[in-house]
Amino acid sequence: MAIIERPGTGTTPVVATPQQTLGAVKRPVETKGWREWLFTVDHKKIGIMYGVVAMVFFIIGGVEALLIRLQLAMPDGQILSADKYNQMFTMHATTMVFLFAMPMAGAFANYFLPLQIGARDVAFPRINALSLWLLIIGGLVLNASWFLGGAADGGWFMYAPNSGPIFSPSHGVDFWVIGLQIAGVASLLGSINLIVTVVNMRAPGMSLMKMPVFTWMILVVQFLLVFSLPVITVALVLLMLQRSYGATFFDVSQGADPLLWQHLFWIFGHPEVYVLILPAFGIISEVLPTFARKPLFGYPFVVFSGASIGLVGFGVWAHHMFASGLGPVSVAVFSVATMAIAIPTGVKIFNWLLTMWGGKIWYTTAMNFAIGLVVLFTIGGLSGVTHSVAPSDTQQTDTYYIVAHFHYVLFGGMVFGLFSGFYYWWPKVFGKMLNEKLGAWNFWFMVIGMNLTFGPMHILGLQGQPRRMYVWTEARAGEGFFNLGFWNLIASIGSFILAVGVLFFLINVVITARSKKQAPLDPWDARTLEWLTTSPPKAHNFDRIPVVHHLDEFFHRKYEEDTATHTMKKVAEGEDLVRVEEEAADAHIHLPSPSYWPIVLSVGVGLLGLGTIYGIPMIVLGFAITLFASYGWILEPSVAEEIDFEPSNNDGNTKEIAPLG
């Protein structure tokens, strides 16, 4: 919020809000109620909103998954029609990837990246808000299709000809294209913002090799996004021009190469896989050392293996296309590249194992989820390596074996990492601890549910059950151990156990929110800078910008080496350290001021996109709003003028100076 804080007496600083700044129009000054959230540029509020939005879409995508499993639980399922089933699996995947996984990683990145590098906000706070609102608009456009003639139904990678008007006559794919395009712009802006933040806004002394691993992994992810999103943008533009304006880019009957779409999609799509998993790797690289009470084993290896996963990730996309007749040379090259990428991933696994080795492990829920990730991701990783062998991949392609593989890496890997992050950082964000007992229920239901759901899919896939079939018949289900009916039923039961696990988490959130009990300042004896402030952090994050001397700066401020025994001895508590910071608080902290323009601009862009479906007038309207908001934006200083912060200079408009709660 736009506040200035002067160190008051002792530890209660004083705040004043700007009163009258004019940009193109009067800028918002509210610090209370819904306006506080709608027009905020505070990275922490934006992070929380990312999290809420992502969680809503997680539930929507989860319900879609349950409907799919209900349909397949029994032979000749009657829950969904073939058409609805196609929409369901397409939207389940799209929602989970673009509207849950990426925004949830964005939530963590937005909230913790500035805190971990000792900054007061991101480099471009208004662009940060714009990213959030564009994401929300994109998600709404995607899901609006359910009510406007049917959702997209071509599978999440939307291959031609399924994406064409003959096989997908509804507007579903159009909404899908526009929604992803807008969400893509949001991610692109967000990634540029976060890279600049990491490069330019680190606290004094924080060299790149003193950055927490989570920040490192987020940085790698943002580079992947910056350089892969434009490729899907091209693909989506071509598809949009084909569907709405008569081009034939992917239409074989007009002499086109449908493989062009596959290349463009997977040049984006494979780096995207690492975009999804690396944030989770970053989270558990914070969680494992904290709860093993040992520094991360081989920090530089974890960092560089992450970076090399990112780089090599751009050279393996065609392994998604082995079954499309690329030719032996291409297949061989991409096979080898794909096997190579397993090496840095394996390096990480061993680093985590050796971090835990010999540590005094504290089995909290956060730690359980982190260990769960290491185990389940390894299973998924191993089945992934089998795809790199092209002949075996040819058998596995488009079967449930693939579905099993990517759910082990994405659910067992990514989702477990995110849940580990929830439990680890909840006290930081909300000042209250999530209930550990419910956390245990949450964890075990999710572990058991996830293995029951996705484990049998390996068998189903190798037995030949194709993915995306809306129904199976008893007559072809096979017998004995390999009976498809039995394993389909197990998978469906598993999915509901999984859902109950997630429900435990939601219950936990509600119970925690109602509880009055405040969390201790440093409940986990943590290691990184985000803990060097109050919980929840103050609007300006740090009372003074910390000067960094060590990797794991917060840990090294608490502990000193006992020269006699060569062990680390605790010399200060977190509370002491925060008190020291409060007493030395900076005198004048100007934070970026809230703004109307991000949300207005995002509405304009949304209308501009929908115009490709609903015609020129809407494009014109969208363009006008976009242009108007852009000028408002440019003409508005990102921080309110000095005079607005000083109520005493504000003739006849003096407001009471309120103490900060």
Site string (125-164) toward another protein, x via CB under 8 A: xxx-------------------------------------
Residue among 390 and 491 whose Cβ is closer to another protein: 390
Residue among 328 and 617 whose Cβ is closer to another protein: 328
Grouping H, G, I as helix, E, B as strand and the rest as coil, residue 386 is: helix
Of 46-54, 78-86, 198-206, 494-502, the window that binds another protein (rule: CB under 8 A) is 198-206
- For another protein, which residue of 303, 545, 551, 601 counts as binding (CB under 8 A)? 545
- 124 contacts another protein (rule: CB under 8 A): yes
- 317 contacts another protein (rule: CB under 8 A): yes
Of 114-122, 393-401, 431-439, 653-661, the window that binds another protein (rule: CB under 8 A) is 114-122
Residue among 263 and 428 whose Cβ is closer to another protein: 263
Instruction: Cite the DSSP H helix spans in 431-537.
Output: 436-462, 484-514
The CA distances from residue 235 to 160, 239, 265, 276, in Å, are 11, 6, 7, 20
Spell out the residues 6+ positions from residue 351 whose beta carbon is closer than 8 angstroms to its own.
Answer: 296, 297, 298, 301, 302, 305
Judged by CB under 8 A, how many residues of this single chain contact another protein? 68
Site string (636-655) toward another protein, x via CB under 8 A: xxxx----------------
Residue among 505 and 633 whose Cβ is closer to another protein: 633
CB of residue 22 vs another protein: minimum separation in angstroms? Answer: 11
CB of residue 354 vs another protein: minimum separation in angstroms? Answer: 31
- 119 contacts another protein (rule: CB under 8 A): yes
Residue among 29 and 373 whose Cβ is closer to another protein: 29
Q: How many CA atoms lie within 13 A of 239 on its CB side?
A: 33
Distance CA 268, CA 316 (A): 11
Site string (211-250) toward another protein, x via CB under 8 A: ------------x--xxxxxx-xxx-xx--x---xxxxx-
Q: Is 517 exposed, middle or buried (0-12, 13-18, 19+ CB in 10 A)?
A: exposed
Residue among 40 and 512 whose Cβ is closer to another protein: 40
Distance CA 156, CA 154 (A): 7
The string of DSSP letters for 176-227 reads: HHHHHHHHHHHHHHHHHHHHHHHHH-PPTT--GGGS-HHHHHHHHHHHHHHH
The CA distances from residue 353 to 31, 358, 480, 568, in Å, are 46, 10, 38, 22
- For another protein, which residue of 109, 115, 178, 188 counts as binding (CB under 8 A)? 188
Site string (263-292) toward another protein, x via CB under 8 A: xx--x-------------------------
Closest-CA residue to 214 (of 194, 200, 228, 196)? 194
Distance CA 160, CA 173 (A): 12
Residue among 70 and 247 whose Cβ is closer to another protein: 247
The CA distances from residue 440 to 215, 437, 446, 452, 609, in Å, are 28, 5, 10, 18, 44
Residue among 121 and 522 whose Cβ is closer to another protein: 121
Closest-CA residue to 593 (of 645, 647, 655)? 645
Residue among 120 and 407 whose Cβ is closer to another protein: 120
Distance CA 343, CA 337 (A): 10
CB of residue 256 vs another protein: minimum separation in angstroms? Answer: 6
Around Cβ 325, how many Cβ atoms within 10 Å? 9
Spell out the residues 6+ positions from residue 15 whose beta carbon is closer than 8 angstroms to its own.
Answer: 3, 4, 5, 657, 658, 659, 660
- 538 contacts another protein (rule: CB under 8 A): no
Which residues between 578 and 637 bind another protein (CB under 8 A)? 588-592, 631, 633-637
Which residues between 370 and 389 bind another protein (CB under 8 A)? none
Please tell me whether the peptide bond between 258 and the residue prior to it is cis, using omega within 30 degrees of 0. no
CB of residue 70 vs another protein: minimum separation in angstroms? Answer: 40
Report the length, in residues, of the chain. Answer: 661
Contact 561, 569 (CB under 8 A): yes
CA 414 distance to own-chain centroid: 9
Residue among 199 and 511 whose Cβ is closer to another protein: 199
Contact 212, 279 (CB under 8 A): no
- 557 contacts another protein (rule: CB under 8 A): no
Distance CA 426, CA 428 (A): 5
Of 143-151, 192-200, 350-358, 491-499, the window that binds another protein (rule: CB under 8 A) is 192-200
Distance CA 118, CA 543 (A): 11
Residue among 123 and 278 whose Cβ is closer to another protein: 123
Of 315-323, 450-458, 563-571, 602-610, the window that binds another protein (rule: CB under 8 A) is 315-323
Of 68-76, 309-317, 347-355, 497-505, the window that binds another protein (rule: CB under 8 A) is 309-317
Residue among 119 and 160 whose Cβ is closer to another protein: 119
CB of residue 543 vs another protein: minimum separation in angstroms? Answer: 13
Site string (481-520) toward another protein, x via CB under 8 A: ----------------------------------------
- 314 contacts another protein (rule: CB under 8 A): yes
First to last CA, the chain: 14
Q: Which residues bind another protein (CB under 8 A)?
A: 119-127, 188, 192-193, 195-196, 199-202, 204, 206, 223, 226-231, 233-235, 237-238, 241, 245-249, 254-257, 259-260, 263-264, 267, 314-315, 317-318, 326-327, 330, 545, 588-592, 631, 633-639
